[in-house]
Amino acid sequence: MRFTAIRIAFFASSFAFVATACATHAANPVVQGVGLCDPKVRIYDNHAWLYATHDAVPGSAHFIMNDWWVWASDDLVKWRLVSVLKPEQTYYKKPENSCWATDAIRHHGKYYFYFSRGPKEIGVVEGNSPAGPWRDPIGKPLIAEGSTPTTARDPAIFQKPDGTTYIIFGCWNYYIARLNDDMVSLAEKPRKLEVSPKMGPYGPGKLDDKPFLFERNGKYYLSWGCYYAMSDNLYGPYAYVDTIIHKDRVETIFQKGLTFDRHGSFFELYNQWYFICNDQSWPGTSAHYRDSVMSYVHFRDDGEIDPIYLNRTGVGEYDAQDAIQAANYFQGEGVLQKESSDGGFEVREIHSSTALVYPNVKNVPADAVISFRLANGNARGGTIEIRSGSADGPVLGRCKAPGTEDWTHYQDISCPLKNPSGTLDLCLLFRGRGHDLLHLKSFSFHRGE
C-alpha cells in the first residue's frame, strides 16, 4: 500500500463560480474562518468531497446562507473549494438566504446533490461529476412543504451496496423514503422513523434536526447532531444509545453548549471511520458563523461508538510531541480496530507486508528513537520496519517485537531511526510469520542520545 498525492480535477461549471477558490491547509477547523458548516463528506474513488452550507456574514444576528458549497481533498488536510451552487440555478430561480443543509450521492455514474430551501422544501440537482456543473432535472421540489408531518428539510442519503437509495429528512421527527432509480422521485410514501427514548441537546423526549444514517457490520446507525441510536433494521425502530461528544474529550468547549448545533455526519476512507460536525469554539466565531471539525471514530466490540476526541490536531496529520494512537491511521488495509485490555483501542490482524500509514507527522526530532506499545501472543515475534513515505520508501529503522505467548501482556519496545527533523510521512511495514503478528496500541518519538 502506498500513500500518494492524488490530483483532484477542478470542474468547470455553467453557474457563477468563485474564481479565487481557496487551496487551504488546516487541522481543526478543517477550513478556518470561511463559514463552512453542516458538512457531509462523500468518498468517490478514494477522493473526499465535502458538501456543505455556507454562513456568509461573520457576526450576524441570524443565519445568512446564500449558496451551497462543494470542497474536495485527497488527504483530509488540504481542502479546495471546487463548486458553488446558487439557488438561482435551481427550480427556485432567484436568490435565497436560507440555503440550508445538504447531502449528495453517486448513482449509475451520475451525482445527485440534495438541498434544503430553509425549513420549507427539499430540492435536487444532478451532474456528471462530484462538483457539477449542476442542473435541476425536475424543476420543482423533490419533497414539498406540507407533504409530510415533519418539515421538509435537512436531507440525508443512505445507499445500500446494491444501489438502492433512501432519503431521510425532517426535524424533531424523522421520515424515510426509498428513492426511485432515477434518484429524483420517491418510490414510496415517507414513513416515520421511531426512536426510543428520544434524547438531544434540548433534553429528554426530543430529537433535533440534521439526521444522518449509515450501516456498519449489519447495524444501522441513525444520528442527529452528535447523538445516535441503533437498529437491526433500516426502518427501525431505533434505540437511543448516547452522544459521542463528552466534555473530557474536547479540547475547547462549544460556545453555546457542548453538544448544541453539532450537525454531524460519518464517513469511511481507507478502512478508517471519521465524524465531521459544526463547531463554534474558534476565537471570533459566533452562533451564526460556524466552522467544521473532524475526528476519528472507533467502534467498541459491541458496535457502540466510543466517544470521540476533538482537538486542534484533527485528522490526517499527527504531532510527534504526543503519543500517537495506532488505531488513528490514515491507511490500514485489512486490519481491525478492537478494544484493548490496556485501555482504548489497538490494531489487530496484522500480517507480513501489512502497512499502516501516518502522513504529516510533525515535530519529529532528527535521528529520533521510536517506541511502540504492543502485545504479541505470537511466539515467533515479528519486525516493524519504519519507512519514509510508503511501503516502498527508505527504511529509517527496524524494531524487533519478541513474542510473549500472551495477548494481554503489553510491552514497550524501542529502536533508533535515521531521519531528518521536521515533518515525516510515516509508514509502518510489518514482517514475520503468522496471520496475527502483534496488536499495536500506540507509538511515540523521543530524542536520541
Pick the CATH number of 23-316 from 2.40.110.10, 1.20.1260.10, 3.40.50.410, 2.115.10.20: 2.115.10.20
- Of 59-68, 70-79, 282-291, highest mean pLDDT: 70-79
pLDDT of residue 22: 53
Confidence of residue 25 (pLDDT cuts 50, 70, 90): low
pLDDT of residue 322: 94
Identical fold, 23-316 and 319-446: no
Say whether pTM exceeds 0.85.
yes
Please list, in sequence order, all residues whose beta carbon lies within 8 angstroms of the beta carbon of residue 239, skipping any fewer than 6 positions away.
195, 196, 229, 230, 231
The domain segmentation of the chain, as residue ranges, is: 23-316, 319-446
Confidence of residue 255 (pLDDT cuts 50, 70, 90): confident
* Secondary-structure percent of the chain, ordered helix, strand, coil, rounded to 5: 0, 45, 50
Q: Residue 80 pLDDT > 80, yes or no? A: yes
Confidence of residue 257 (pLDDT cuts 50, 70, 90): confident
- Three cell numbers, residue 155: 436531507
Alpha-carbon distance of 407 to 403, in angstroms, equals: 9
End-to-end CA distance of the chain: 33
- Across the chain, mean pLDDT equals 91
Residues in the chain: 449
User: pLDDT tens digits for 377-424?
Assistant: 877 778 999 999 999 999 999 999 988 778 888 999 999 999 999 999
pLDDT of residue 45: 96
Q: Which of 331-340, 405-414, 423-432 has the lowest mean pLDDT?
A: 405-414
pLDDT of residue 69: 98
User: pLDDT tens digits for 156-199?
Assistant: 999 999 999 999 999 999 999 999 999 999 999 999 999 999 88
**Mean pLDDT, range 190-213, rounded to an integer:** 91
pLDDT of residue 65: 97
Please list, in sequence order, all residues whose beta carbon lies within 8 angstroms of the beta carbon of residue 440, skipping any fewer than 6 positions away.
326, 346, 347, 350, 356, 372, 373, 374, 428
More confident residue, 391 or 257: 391
Alpha-carbon distance of 190 to 175, in angstroms, equals: 6
Pick the CATH number of 319-446 from 3.40.50.620, 3.30.70.580, 2.60.120.260, 1.25.50.10: 2.60.120.260
Q: Cα dihedral angle (309, 227, 332, 108), rounded to 10 degrees? A: -140
Nearest to 379 by CA among 339, 432, 343, 337: 432
Confidence of residue 18 (pLDDT cuts 50, 70, 90): very low
pLDDT of residue 181: 98
Task: Give the number of other CB atoms < 10 A from CB of residue 444.
Answer: 17
**Is 345 exposed, middle or buried, given 0-12, 13-18 or 19+ CB atoms closer than 10 A?**
buried
Given the C-alpha cell 435537512, which residue does it identify?
Answer: 154
Q: Residue 316 pLDDT > 80, yes or no? A: yes
CA 238 to chain CA centroid, nearest Å: 22
pLDDT of residue 19: 33
- For the residues of 68-111, what is the DSSP string, one character each? EEEEEESSSSEEEEEEEE-GGGSTT-S--SBEEEEEEEEETTEE
Confidence of residue 24 (pLDDT cuts 50, 70, 90): low
Please list, in sequence order, all residues whose beta carbon lies within 8 angstroms of the beta carbon of residue 45, skipping any fewer than 6 positions away.
none
User: pLDDT tens digits for 363-381?
Assistant: 999 999 999 999 988 777 7
Using CA atoms, how far residue 17 sits from 21, 96, 111, 141, 322, in Å, is: 8, 17, 19, 24, 41
